[in-house]
Amino acid sequence: MSTRWESYCNTTTDLLQVEPHIDSYDTKRVLEGWTVVGSGVYTKSDVGYISALYRDGVDLGAAQATAGVVNTDGEWHYASGTDLLTICTTSAPDTVHRFQTGQAWSDVKTAAVSRASEFVRVYLNKPIMRRVGVGVQAESLREATLQALLSTGDRRAGELLALADREGNVAAALRAWSVDPAAWLTRVREPGDVLPWDAVDPGVTREYLAAEYERALRGETSPPCRVGTGCRLCGACG
Ligand code: SF4
């Protein structure tokens, strides 16, 4: 397998992260209404093309070459010309078992991963290579500190801006500021605290953010957004 065909996503867990409703891709359908034609042998017509058959969720394996040799429990044959499925099962297929046709779960996952990988390849228009190590892009501590001060600041942050304008640089403004920047930055905010930006309504409810915060503290993740599906989970989509 070339690196061109490698995928970032190859487990059920990964798939559930990006598609919580991956189960809905399982297109197996139940086959009911069998006609007994011999000792333990049943047929069903008009079943549509069948390449795999499952009994109670178990893959019955490859089909027999002809319907005439279907005489042992678990054997089956599909005649595409007449659209007729023949099976052999020692217990009644309609009342004791559940026969299904469709794709195996592993095939469904593989197809989903392949499709997703192909979308990425088409978008990038170049091979997807294995990522070696982890790259980190960080900004300077000074810039991050200033951003944190301004983004968590109340009207006293305005005083800092005025000082920076007067002093000509941020470092001098921080020294002249009446607030201790370290204490400001490290102060623990409780979910119920009144915040400077409470007057702004971003759509996302405060309760949702608090719940997400609690989940993060517990090390839990949340499913990705499903924008355009009518989701009202956080409130941002109206
Ligand atoms: S409401 Fe919109 S933004 Fe919020 S979780 Fe749902 S899809 Fe995501």
**CA of 204, closest atom in ligand 1:** 4
The pLDDT tens digits for 162-199 are 999 998 888 889 889 999 888 888 888 888 888 878 88
Ligand 1 centroid–CA 229 distance in Å is 9
Ligand 1 centroid–CA 210 distance in Å is 15
Band of pLDDT at residue 86, cut at 50, 70 and 90 = very high
The residue with tokens 């069903």 is 44
**Contact partners, residue 81, CB within 8 Å, separation at least 6:** none
Would you say residue 74 has pLDDT above 90?
yes
**CA of 227, closest atom in ligand 1:** 7
High-pLDDT (> 70) share of the chain, %: 86
User: Is the torsion defined by CA of 73, 75, 80, 82 positive or negative?
Assistant: negative
Query: Which of 55, 62, 65 shows the shortest CA–CA distance to 28?
Result: 55
pLDDT of the residue at 55: 94
**CA of 235, closest atom in ligand 1:** 1
Contact 64, 19 (CB under 8 A): no
Which residues sit with their C-beta closer than 6 Å to ligand 1? 225-227, 231-234, 236-237
CB atoms < 10 A from the CB of 107, how many? 12
**Residue nearest atom 2 in ligand 1 by C-alpha distance:** 237
**Residue nearest atom 3 in ligand 1 by C-alpha distance:** 236
**Cα-Cα-Cα-Cα dihedral of 138, 144, 147, 149, to 10°?**
160
Would you say residue 76 has pLDDT above 90?
yes
SS3 222: coil
**CA of 238, closest atom in ligand 1:** 1
**Contact partners, residue 205, CB within 8 Å, separation at least 6:** 234, 235
Mutate to test the pocket of ligand 1, among 18, 222, 229, 231 (most ligand atoms within 8 A of CB): 231
Contact 116, 156 (CB under 8 A): no
Mean pLDDT of 133-154: 80
Ligand 1 centroid–CA 230 distance in Å is 8
pLDDT of the residue at 163: 93
